[in-house]
A and B are shown apart, each in its own frame.
Chain A
């Protein structure tokens, strides 16, 4: 059984005034196995964030179904959704979503506090993650006092501190320079080898080439996928770049 099954997802946004409709997802269909590291690529506005939001249960699809561990998400009662999110999901937001009332430390600890862990349990988890992400010196600062990249790393730390089954990351390298990106991706790879599943949206071919599989989304559908197989990162990078070029030229694959 796959960890995540996405079946014929469709999402239509209706603008608040009712009139106009915008179809963000047309018919998205794919599965993710336990322990996979998958990247999702696609043009801006192609529906990637929309897809992640549905997977994270922040939003409901217009049609179609998402199964996590074989369980239909739509059947989880509203009341249990928050607990479900806390226990199973780690989400890195495209716009970070840090709370300005909390220090960096408290922002990272937030999901642990919500799961009622004791302070003694939290610290051993916080220290290594903060170290890895280069946040150790910033822990007592507040979000408005740190840079965009530091905020993004904080968001990543918050997502992975609970060891979630599934990490959903929306452009986690968007605000990072190449060195920090490389470190973050290495971290993702390491987490991945420990068995956690990662689904990462990215615009960067370099970032995508770290993944085991790359999904390309176009016009609200999964347009193409690439498997790494035995390829090295550089070889994968080339393949992804080529595919993007073809996509950008509007060409057909296969």
Chain B
């Protein structure tokens, strides 16, 4: 009996507040859906027959963790927002004679209904659309088109338990709110208005310093390794700075404006400034969240798209030739390496095109100035502990003039102290090159070579290919290098390399490569690290799995964040609407023109809602350099492509943001004009 009473009351409450609860329900439903999707993808038995099963699984496990953190924060945030708005309603109940225990019971049923509805809805969506999305994922991953999506009751249960706990916690939270509350203060709180915000100079300064330092790291860090190490630190600094500046900084600026009497006591400024102070105080935290969410969306989506779009490029950069096999000169003779390659290829109906075989020698030195200068020195021990080692570490790859001329089809000549140079990252740009034991003149700097990866814009593998006139010169270099003192690691090796492009069926090519590799390893007692086989075909399979999975995950998480952002914006518009309705009336009665009011309010709304977008775009622009370093880790080394992806994603996102603003502001105007 009582039971149905509470249930009914809970239902009426939700219905009465549907303006906010319905969008909240949708957002919870979307979160459940996403969680279920990730869980069932990560553990799906249907993944069995794809080779990158582990890769896809672990990607979606990471996704799942992100959703867990996100769901917990987001559902709590939205719930507490809704509760705040309902304080008065709850106060009224207790004044009308409902006991706190009874109010709690109503709250319990509300949480139960919301939880059940979003779970049922989310799981239903998951069941219906899971298969379709799974197929899309398989398309992106591009390896196992015949994989099927298999529903598993355990995944339903896991989702149910997780969200059951989350909603139980929201209930506890609401219950505490009810128990803590005094009816009088609840009733009053609605008319009380907010205290005028305190702007703390200290917090503003903290915001400036925090954001500034975060930006500084992002803008100045040259070393890719350090960029990666410092990335999360910079992210946290920027998040803190954004929060501090939105909450305290904005009010600090507005108050400074207010103190200027000649500015403040003008009709438009008067109303705008005082309203903005008020608005910012109530909304700053929410706006900062919108800003951070927007930045997260922009970063995830644009980097994953850049990786996916750059996949082919990256593959080409890594595999300038479709097959390249490398081993030390003292393991397999060059003739054997290339001869066996040809033999195994023939066996599998594969033809080698433009086969190249040559030997090369590599050794490393330290470039004294990472970007300029012609001076290369020995690398002292302590350099190894430098996190920014990647900036100084410089690897020389030496090949002989005759090999070079043969492969490039040129007829260059060189003196013993002359080099032809190809710089792997950026141009070298100088006429001379000084090593600790010799000085060379650069006869010619070339922009590309047929036997190695194209030049990168940014890469961890700094170095140059140098062409020397003869074996004698090479021998001298080798001896002098090995005689160096004060070099941490005398790393100088000579390799044999056989490489070619392949024609033939893909299956045959892969079978050929695998058999050839195994045979050579067997015959010479080598393993995967002493015999390096780089194959375009094999890489392509792995990369499709990885970057296809990335893209799917990035877009899915981007959509999840977007949904949260839309809900926050919507909530803000609704609560602003209710407050502005009263202000609107009063201003009109005191003699302000209706159109003027609308104009100033419009301006304020736009300012308030587009501030986060502007912030997010600035964050992204600043983050560009450091993100490029991160992408370089994945061997995406094409700045132009990255810029394109970032700009395109920003443009699309801005349009979406604008549309969201426009649609939700309709709700606002409906409330104001009611």
Interface residues in chain A, defined as those with a beta carbon under 8 Å from any beta carbon in chain B: 56, 58, 78-79, 82-83, 85-86, 89, 91, 93, 97-103, 106, 109-111, 113-116, 118-119, 122, 142-144, 158
Contacts and interface: CB of A to CB of B under 8 A. Distances in A.
Given A101-B583, A106-B274, A113-B270, A122 B265 contact: yes
Nearest to B278: A101
Interface stretch (B391-399, B495-503, B588-596): B588-596
A101 B192 contact: no
Nearest to B275: A101
Nearest to B262: A119
Contacts of B191: 144
A97 B585 CA distance: 9
A101 B580 CA distance: 11
Contacts of B266: 113, 116
A131 to B, nearest CB: 21
Interface in B173-187: none
B591 A111 contact: yes
Given A99-B583, A142-B193, A143-B193, A86 B270 contact: no
Interface in B185-243: 191-196
A142 B594 CA distance: 25
Nearest to B593: A82
A63 B631 CA distance: 75
Contacts of B588: 82
A93 B586 CA distance: 10
A35 to B, nearest CB: 23
A101 B600 CA distance: 15
Q: How large is the interface on B (under 10, 10 to 19, 20 to 34, 35 or more residues)?
A: 20 to 34
A113 B275 contact: no
A110 B193 contact: no
B261 A58 contact: no
A122 to B, nearest CB: 7
A186 B590 CA distance: 24
Contact of A58 (B583, B589, B594): B589
B586 A97 contact: yes
Given A85-B590, A99-B274, A116-B266, 17 more contacts: A78-B594, A82-B591, A82-B596, A86-B590, A93-B589, A97-B585, A100-B193, A102-B274, A111-B590, A113-B266, A114-B590, A114-B592, A115-B591, A119-B262, A142-B196, A143-B193, A144-B194
B93 to A, nearest CB: 24
A221 B4 CA distance: 51
Interface string B257-301: 000011001110010001101100000000000000000000000
Which 3 A-B pairs give the minimum distances between C-beta atoms?
A: A86-B591, A100-B193, A144-B193
Contacts of A143: 193
Nearest to A142: B196
Contacts of A100: 193-194, 278
Nearest to A87: B591
A110 B195 CA distance: 20
Contact of A113 (B265, B585, B586): B265
20 contacts: A56-B589, A82-B593, A83-B593, A85-B589, A85-B591, A89-B591, A91-B590, A97-B589, A99-B586, A100-B193, A100-B194, A101-B275, A101-B278, A101-B583, A113-B266, A114-B267, A118-B265, A122-B265, A142-B195, A144-B192
A99 B594 CA distance: 16
A122 B592 CA distance: 18
Contacts of A158: 590
B590 A101 contact: no
A79 B589 contact: no
A56 B591 CA distance: 10
B589 A113 contact: no
